[in-house]
Structure 1
């Protein structure tokens, strides 16, 4: 694991996802950080080192990152806004929630929000963030390929920048699981890359053909599908009558 020096000192006023990710990505490109392990280590050190207590650093990270999304300056803002506009119903599940910024964003709109991620540490951080921000998010550790939720138990299930982290067979299984759990709609977003960004943990570069490939088995079963491009690719699957 790398101990490369960060290019600047972050504070509780400046630490955020929108600021950290471009800086650390540039360091990976320059060879100053060693791939995914170096990227993740540097990000944690920046967040936890900006305050006297690591927990306060994480709280500042969440507060600032959500503020960036609200103001529109965060690189991920267009994706969050598009995803929010596509939600249907009241009960939402975010699969592969990572830091949980989208889940927290949804909770602030009054939705009944559930989130899951395969990483226990990410779920713990989301739980703590939701507690300190007094936002109701129900989160748990879970594999996208075997979701521990009953059939049709959520109105909308989202997979936002998740499937590029999975091998092709696992990605297809994750889509199937999302459709099983969703009573009304599945919303999928993926980045379009020439090559997978290893420091983000991406294992495949996806195209519109992949989105269509995930949709076809469900179209044959009567599910409506829409594929479009907006800051990457999107696939929306709707149950008839949902």
Structure 2
């Protein structure tokens, strides 16, 4: 039986575990293990980086990743080793285990997340400097680094609002390059992580919780609005509203990017596919100059100059 989402323990990514190197939230228990891995117990799934077993409704995971190995490629490791083979399922469980591995990788959560952000931003920069490199085997950072570069090339001059920013790596890059940047996400916990990371990295970035379908900014409040790999997480009617809100708030340009999938990838929390035809329909409905591009996924750029 699956626990209803409303009854699951809230994920608090900054809450210390019961001891250093351990994360617990009532749904998962995650422990860092350095040195020789313990002998595999009956009922345990063992992969290159993880040992996983269940006790009742709780998932127990042991990992052997060091702090310097923790970056956003952890997403790919969890997906390839545990979720794609079908050992585990569901975006909520994925998010909890991801959080648990990060938090358990250092003596305290703030130190762990600081390392995670620094490692990831460094990896993004390395990938952008790699001429046609293959990237890491699981490739999470390698896949979205060229997306970030393309976003940066499409922006009009001026300020930026990123909607659905998740961890906010793109927003941090843009702010560190001198842009006035605001980032938003529907998750208050994610926004708290990003604000803390920006402060530790000394990057002038403002982040706040906001619903993409009801943005709390007035019309024309910012020069650019970004919806980067957000719309595949929203049901079609909500996606329509998010696009309309982005057009309302953008003074000069809206930049939208989506993955082009045959089926929505549940592991990443995708609930729909978005095609180039869908992007063209949004562009036409806007009544404004626009273009649709295929480049590491699908793109819609709408000029809203007002």
TM range (shorter): over 0.9
- Matching residue within 218, 228, 233 for 1:160: 228
Find the residue that maps to 1:78 and give its secondary structure. helix
**8 Å CA contact 1:37, 1:199 repeated in 2:** no
Mark the runs of 5 or more structure 2 residues left unpaired by the alignment.
1-26, 29-58, 128-134, 136-140
| Cα drift, residue 231 of structure 1 | 0.8
- Matching residue within 169, 172, 176 for 1:104: 172
| Cα drift, residue 83 of structure 1 | 0.6
> Which residue matches 1:5?
61
Find the residue that maps to 1:111 and give its secondary structure. coil
Superimposed CA distance per residue, residues 185-214 of structure 1 (whole angstroms, 9 cap, x where no aligned partner): 000000011111112111101111110111
- Matching residue within 207, 215, 221 for 1:147: 215
**8 Å CA contact 1:97, 1:117 repeated in 2:** yes
Counterpart CA distance in 2 for 1:40 and 1:173 is 26
Counterpart CA distance in 1 for 2:207 and 2:184 is 5
| Cα drift, residue 216 of structure 1 | 1.2
> Which residue matches 2:285?
217
Greater relative contact order (CA < 8 Å, ≥ 6 in sequence): 1
| Cα drift, residue 238 of structure 1 | 0.4
| Cα drift, residue 32 of structure 1 | 2.4
Counterpart CA distance in 1 for 2:291 and 2:151 is 14
> Which residue matches 2:300?
235
> Which residue matches 1:47?
102
Superimposed CA distance per residue, residues 18-42 of structure 1 (whole angstroms, 9 cap, x where no aligned partner): x211111111011222221221111
Superimposed CA distance per residue, residues 131-151 of structure 1 (whole angstroms, 9 cap, x where no aligned partner): 000001111110000101111
Mean alpha-carbon deviation: is it higher for 180-189 or for 82-91? 82-91
> Which residue matches 2:111?
56
> Which residue matches 1:183?
251
Matches within 5 A, 1:197-212: 197-212=265-280
Find the residue that maps to 1:13 and give its secondary structure. helix
Counterpart CA distance in 2 for 1:217 and 1:31 is 40
Counterpart CA distance in 2 for 1:65 and 1:48 is 15
What is the TM-score of this pair, normalised by structure 1?
A: 0.94
Superimposed CA distance per residue, residues 150-179 of structure 1 (whole angstroms, 9 cap, x where no aligned partner): 111101000000000001011011011001
Greater radius of gyration (CA): 2
- Matching residue within 80, 91, 112 for 1:36: 91
| Cα drift, residue 239 of structure 1 | 2.2
Q: Does 1:126 align with 2:126?
A: no
- Matching residue within 200, 203, 219 for 1:135: 203
Find the residue that maps to 1:39 and give its secondary structure. helix
Find the residue that maps to 2:277 and give its secondary structure. helix
Mark the runs of 5 or more structure 1 residues left unpaired by the alignment.
none
Counterpart CA distance in 1 for 2:200 and 2:167 is 14
Find the residue that maps to 1:194 and give its secondary structure. coil
Q: Does 1:21 align with 2:80?
A: no
What is the TM-score of this pair, normalised by structure 2?
A: 0.75
Find the residue that maps to 1:114 and give its secondary structure. strand
**8 Å CA contact 1:4, 1:32 repeated in 2:** no
Find the residue that maps to 1:237 and give its secondary structure. strand
Counterpart CA distance in 2 for 1:11 and 1:57 is 10
Counterpart CA distance in 2 for 1:41 and 1:32 is 15
